[in-house]
Amino acid sequence: MFYNNKGAIALVNKQYDLAYNYFRNAVKVDSSFSAGWGNLGVLFRQLNYLAEAEQAYNYAISLNQNNNTAQGNLAALYQLTGRSKLGTDILKKLHIKRQNNPYYYISLGNTEFEQSNFALALAHYKKAYSLAPSLHESHFGQASVYFKWGNTQKAIYHLEQAGKKADFLHDKKRYESKLNALLSLTAKL
């Protein structure tokens, strides 16, 4: 994972030779590391080595059938190379898979929130909560929307819930800090 993460940073910075070396080392250390093979596919795709990208994506998927990122990238590659039906078939399967994934809805909520589509963001966060009530992230998303709407009572409630459900101390402290800031803000009003 160390090499894979370093490779991703190099890839974002368009340092392709460095990215290749990191990804190559990641799969050298663990040849069954699906994410490393998927990232090699991304690199090959960006460099327009489409056959190699396809090979890397397929290998990543063969190692881990649940590597949805590699599957989505393979679907995009199929569509790019005129094999739209193959790409569409993969995307349909991914869509069905994601219907029961609360993190998928949290991600959708975050995207809508960033685009100031707060009602849609809230709907996605609520869907994530309905799928997995124990996740703190859905509460934090809801708190963020309610805060944007000026509903501090609901924002406070959801921040408290996020703090109670967080697994790690750093998340608990982050929510506690946000809650204290919000309580301080409301006290001043």
pTM of the model: 0.66
Lowest mean pLDDT among 24-28, 60-64, 93-97: 93-97
**What is the C-alpha to C-alpha distance for residues 184 and 132, in angstroms, rounded to an integer?**
31
Mean pLDDT over 119-127 rounds to 97
Confidence at residue 44, expressed as pLDDT on a 0 to 100 scale: 97
Give the single-character DSSP code of 48. T
Confidence check: pLDDT of 92 > 90: yes
**What is the C-alpha to C-alpha distance for residues 17 and 11, in angstroms, rounded to an integer?**
9
CA distances from 20 to 70, 109, 111 (A): 17, 33, 29
Kindly give, in sequence order, each residue whose CB lies less than 8 Å from that of residue 6, ignoring residues fewer than 6 positions away. 22
Residue with tokens 């397929």: 58
**What is the C-alpha to C-alpha distance for residues 45 and 50, in angstroms, rounded to an integer?**
5
* Residues above pLDDT 70, as percent of the chain: 99
Mapping DSSP to helix (H, G, I), strand (E, B) and coil, where does residue 133 land?
coil
Residue with tokens 């160390």: 2
Give the model confidence (pLDDT) of 81-90 as tens digits.
999 999 999 9
Residue with tokens 């697994």: 167
Mapping DSSP to helix (H, G, I), strand (E, B) and coil, where does residue 6 land?
helix
Confidence check: pLDDT of 97 > 90: no
Confidence at residue 187, expressed as pLDDT on a 0 to 100 scale: 76
**What is the C-alpha to C-alpha distance for residues 163 and 156, in angstroms, rounded to an integer?**
11
Q: What is the mean pLDDT of the chain?
A: 94
Closest CA to 124 of 152, 103, 146, 149: 103
Give the single-character DSSP code of 64. -
**What is the C-alpha to C-alpha distance for residues 87 and 25, in angstroms, rounded to an integer?**
30
Confidence at residue 189, expressed as pLDDT on a 0 to 100 scale: 65
Judged by phi (left if over 0) then psi (alpha if -120 to 50, else beta), residue 132 lies in beta
Q: Could you tell me the domains of the chain?
A: 2-98 (1.25.40.10), 102-188 (1.25.40.10)
